[in-house]
Amino acid sequence: MQETLEIKDLHVSVEGKKILNGLNLTIHKGKIHAIMGPNGAGKSTVAMTIMGHPKYKIEKGEIFYKGKNIVELEANERATLGLFLAFQYPFEIQGVNFSHFLWVASKSHPTIKFNNVIEFKKALKENLVKLGLDEAFADRAVNVGFSGGEKKRVEVLQMMMLKPEIAIMDETDSGLDIDSLKIVASAVNSLRSSEFGALVITHYQRLLNYLKPDVIHIMVNGRIVKEGGWELVEELEKDGYANFIENKTESNRGET
Amino acid sequence: MVTATQVVDKEDYKYGFHDPEQYTFKIERGLNADIIRRISEHKKEPEWMTEIRLKAYEVFTQKKMPNWGGDLSKIDFQNIIYYVKPSEKAESDWENVPESIKNTFEKLGIPEAERKFLGGVGAQYDSETVYHNLREDLTKKGVIFTDMDTAVKEHPEIVKKYFGTIIPMEDNKFVALNTATWSGGSFVYIPKNVHVDIPLQAYFRINTKNMGQFERTLIIAEEGASVHYVEGCTAPTYSSDSLHAAVVEVIALPRSKIRYTTIQNWSNNVYNLVTKRAYAYEDATVEWIDGNLGSKLTMKYPSVYLVGKNAKADILSVAFAGKGQHQDAGAKVVHLAPNTTSTIVSKSISKGGGRASYRGLLKIAKGATNSKSNVRCDALLLDEESRSDTYPYIEIDEDTATMGHEATVGKVGEEQIFYLMSRGLTEEEALTMIILGFIEPFSKELPMEYAIELNKLIKLEMEGSVG
């Protein structure tokens, strides 16, 4: 059976505000999942919580990965287990050389084995080319002075270099022009295998058209309200979120 | 032979080892005119230098302790040993340096560094230089790189012309003390239009407990000459305090360029009170690259007086204040001629209750028309107990001058740490990486070996700081 990341009845608050209300979600390695949902549904909170951001407080619930509950693990421990987050808003780190940073990061992953820094740089260069980025990015400070679209592509670059087993991509498509979107989508598609799974968070159908995810999850008010296949994307395209928001209200009533 | 017994454990200070004190001559504790006369006599100095020392001692006794900066009240001038001579003479062949001293410098990587990337090396152990060597081709071009004691004997005309002219003995109490008791230090003289293409380096090591190290350095670049001088300093960790009060005078004659790079990493019981000043004449450039780690208290403000038109000053400094440390560091630039420019960039990091202060003076005198200055100070605080202060004194008496000043105080962002950790770095690795990035504008100016060493030192400082 394929490995899964399994979230059970997750309740999360940020700075005292409750965001996730009993989220259940299972992500399968080897598959591409997508979460769609209106603004404020809590999609980014799912991403940050899976990765272990200290500001996102888990009040209740579990996240199982590789046979254990990972909620107490530090972000770096989750990373070295094979999880990855492509940030919606990547942070700038002044004065830190990008390739040095990524080299140090890659050394922390037991599964990544470059024999030497030359091999690493070669792989980095190849992936830069794949993403349509200038080789000079390797020696720039991490995200400093990158345009919005460049930052997003550099997130995907890190994903390609760190070879996660399950990657969460938080609105990687926002701020990308159509050409960049195609480049990013084909890079993600090139990673597809039984050893790679992804959770793609997005507002738009555009990226999904290129990725053709296996499972679609609709998220409203901090929980998953519907799961299904590609037909859900088409339904959303036609009717928007209105139907799902009603469903949500009904289920809430059912609970109380 | 005396062996110091009391050594404090401090695993994170890698230069904290000490050798048994072995010396050929050591003067008794304390200071008076007789001791000064005997130091001078022992050095077989010419009468004029003895006179300078005795006069400076008078000035020292009259000068008040500075009442600003850090806490100097614990310094007991009568408990300090002012002169310790470790070996008979300065050797130019490494093999002839006494074994125990050689071991020390080999632990510090000095001869190796010389072979790899230096044009000349001087190594001072306690009061005296134990080793000095200069690449042969530089000697042939007339470059002089020797210790100050030798310079007094062999080049008295140059020493007399410049000694104490940039920093007079009356400048402050510690300059007077240095002038009275100085020993060792570097003397660098670069003849007209000679470019020394690789750095000259001096290394200063305090070994004796309660020792005062008072090196005196004089660097002169004649017209059109250029040189990069690098120095490093360490001391073992004893339970009682040592004093390092150096004086550095730098003279950049017209069209010359002098870069002076220091990384000081004293153990945390050293008072490091150093006066460094340069004169830059017409079209000359002086650059101070000044890194301060360790010590109990550092008070150091490298200065440049821009005395000729189009002269230029660049001062780049980093201070790292750990637990129980006060780094009172900064920069001074005085614009005295037209079209002069200066840039000051200061970065400080405070951790574990440490205190870093930036103290700077920028003066643009009347007549220094169209002069430009830019000052930037960035402080990074790693925890709530640590402290950072900025004392920028600015005096501008010239209407055509332009000046920019920017100061920031920041904390390492939780978001940045999380970002790096999400890629697999531990919290400590993430924090260290952010700090090294913060000082990168400084470290990129260092010779590569020094940059690597500085990064290592900062990593050591950060070890065990997260948990």
Which pLDDT does position A253 carry in this prediction? 41
Could you tell me which of A160, A163, A166 has the C-alpha nearest to residue A6? Answer: A166
Question: pLDDT at residue B9 above 50?
Answer: no
Question: pLDDT at residue A62 above 70?
Answer: yes
* CB contact (8 A) between residue A162 and residue B414: no
In this prediction, residue B404 has a pLDDT band, given cuts at 50, 70 and 90, of: very high
Question: pLDDT at residue B10 above 50?
Answer: no
Could you tell me which of B345, B366, B339 has the C-alpha nearest to residue B302? Answer: B345
In this prediction, residue B231 has a pLDDT band, given cuts at 50, 70 and 90, of: confident
Report the relative pairing of strands B120-125 and B128-134 from DSSP bridges: antiparallel
Which pLDDT does position A108 carry in this prediction? 94
* CB contact (8 A) between residue A106 and residue B424: yes
Which pLDDT does position B251 carry in this prediction? 98
Question: pLDDT at residue B7 above 60?
Answer: no
A79 has a chain B CB within 8 A of its CB: yes
Task: Tell me the nearest-neighbour CA distance from A200 into chain B, angstroms.
Answer: 17
Handedness of CA A27, A28, A29, A34 (dihedral sign): negative
Question: pLDDT at residue B24 above 80?
Answer: no
Question: pLDDT at residue B38 above 70?
Answer: yes
Name every chain B residue with its beta carbon within 8 A of the beta carbon of A95.
436-441
Which pLDDT does position B113 carry in this prediction? 61
Question: pLDDT at residue B1 above 50?
Answer: no
Q: Helix, strand, or coil here: A81?
A: helix
Inter-residue contact B334 to B286 (CB < 8 Å): no
Could you tell me which of B160, B220, B161, B216 has the C-alpha nearest to residue B190? Answer: B220
d(CA B25, CA B127): 10
Question: pLDDT at residue B351 above 90?
Answer: yes
* Alpha-carbon A100 to chain mean position: 23
Q: In terms of pTM, does the model score above 0.90?
A: no
Mean pLDDT of B416-429: 96
B411 has a chain A CB within 8 A of its CB: no
Q: What share of chain B is helix, strand, coil (3-state, %, to 5)?
A: 25, 35, 40
Question: pLDDT at residue B117 above 80?
Answer: no
Inter-residue contact B129 to B123 (CB < 8 Å): yes
Q: What number of residues does chain B have? A: 467
* CB contact (8 A) between residue A76 and residue B427: yes
Which pLDDT does position B116 carry in this prediction? 59
Which pLDDT does position B159 carry in this prediction? 97
Task: Tell me the nearest-neighbour CA distance from B456 into chain A, angstroms.
Answer: 15
In this prediction, residue A129 has a pLDDT band, given cuts at 50, 70 and 90, of: very high
A81 has a chain B CB within 8 A of its CB: no
In this prediction, residue B435 has a pLDDT band, given cuts at 50, 70 and 90, of: very high
Between these two residues, A217 and B15, which has the higher pLDDT value? A217
Residue of chain A whose alpha carbon sits nearest to that of B429:
A104
Which pLDDT does position A124 carry in this prediction? 97
Q: What is the mean pLDDT of chain B?
A: 87
Chain A stretch 119-158, residues whose beta carbon is closer than 8 A to a beta carbon of chain B: 141-142, 158
Residue of chain B whose alpha carbon sits nearest to that of A164:
B423
Mean pLDDT of B166-193: 95
Mean pLDDT of B356-363: 95
Tell me, which fold does domain A4-255 have in CATH?
Answer: Rossmann fold (3.40.50)
